[in-house]
Structure 1
Amino acid sequence: MSKTVIYSSNAPEPIGPYSQAIQAGNMLFVSGQIAIQKSTGKLITNSIEEETEQVLQNIVDVLKAANMDFSHVVKCTIFLKDFNDFVAVNEIYGKYFTSAPPARETVEVSRLPKDVNIEISCIAVK
């Protein structure tokens, strides 16, 4: 099976030794995205809603680089610093997955990269 690095110039650069995504066959594994705005390089952390929007927009950009969109996503993992943000995150998340939402788990963690409040990773299939 071939393994291809997927890179989007519209999404933030990885902050460590990993790829934005890896395509293996017809499956795409998108690394956890945080709310770094590519155009400014700044973290968007004014509110959990804005932070979630930026994270999902970063995922949009990575999926586009692989000629995919949210309809191809079969699995998401959401990491939250504070589970009290669950309802607000769900509201924003639901705007991106309007039909046949993917399988998902959401977990509270003690700390995330750059001390953000949310990180989301996903798996998509063509």
Structure 2
Amino acid sequence: MSQIERIQGIGNQGPYAQGVRVGDWVYTSGQIPMVPTTGLVLTGPITIQAPQVFANLQAVLAECGADLTQVVKVTVYLTDLADFAQFNEVYAQVFATDRPARACVQVAALPRGVAVEVEAIAYTGRV
């Protein structure tokens, strides 16, 4: 039976773990453009919000013993698909190589009024 490790992370805003590691698998909660040390939520264009989202995602993965190169699946939530192209520019820099599978959906609203949220699944074992 796999051991389950839950990571609360800094800036956790709700009754959930920021990340959960189960054996070789890491599952992250959705990350928004909130600066963990201050609680400040970044607003403005997607090109301002998305880099903070990925910084948060990277921090949660690191706490779980993983990194972006081990991400196998990403789910992106956008409040406006008109932001899709600009989001992809940021995404392509973050995942320049080792690109994971991805889904991107438009949603009516996200927590704290942000424009983007991203969650990921990583595999840390050997293939």
| 1:112 Cα offset (Å) | 0.7
**Distance across 2 between alignment mates of 1:124 and 1:7:** 17
**Distance across 2 between alignment mates of 1:86 and 1:108:** 10
Partner of 2:86: 88
Partner of 2:3: 2
TM-score (norm 1): 0.93
SS in 2 for 1:32: coil
| 1:7 Cα offset (Å) | 3.8
CA deviations on 1:12-62 (whole Å, 9 max, x unpaired) are 32x221100000110000000001102321101122111000000000111
SS in 1 for 2:30: strand
Task: State the 4+ residue runs in structure 1 displaced beyond 3 angstroms.
Answer: none
Q: How does 1:92-111 map to 2 (within 5 A)?
A: 92-111=90-109
Q: Which runs of no fewer than 5 residues in structure 1 stay unpaired?
A: none
Q: How does 1:1-126 map to 2 (within 5 A)?
A: 1-9=2-10, 12-13=11-12, 15-126=13-124
Q: Which runs of no fewer than 5 residues in structure 2 stay unpaired?
A: none
Alpha-carbon RMSD: 1.1
SS in 2 for 1:36: coil
TM-score (norm 2): 0.92
Contact 1:7 1:65 in 2 (8 A): no
Identity %: 35
Contact 1:48 1:89 in 2 (8 A): yes
| 1:70 Cα offset (Å) | 0.6
- The residue type paired with residue 3 of structure 1 is I
- The residue type paired with residue 91 of structure 2 is Y
| 1:3 Cα offset (Å) | 0.9
CA deviations on 1:74-105 (whole Å, 9 max, x unpaired) are 00000000000000100001111111200000
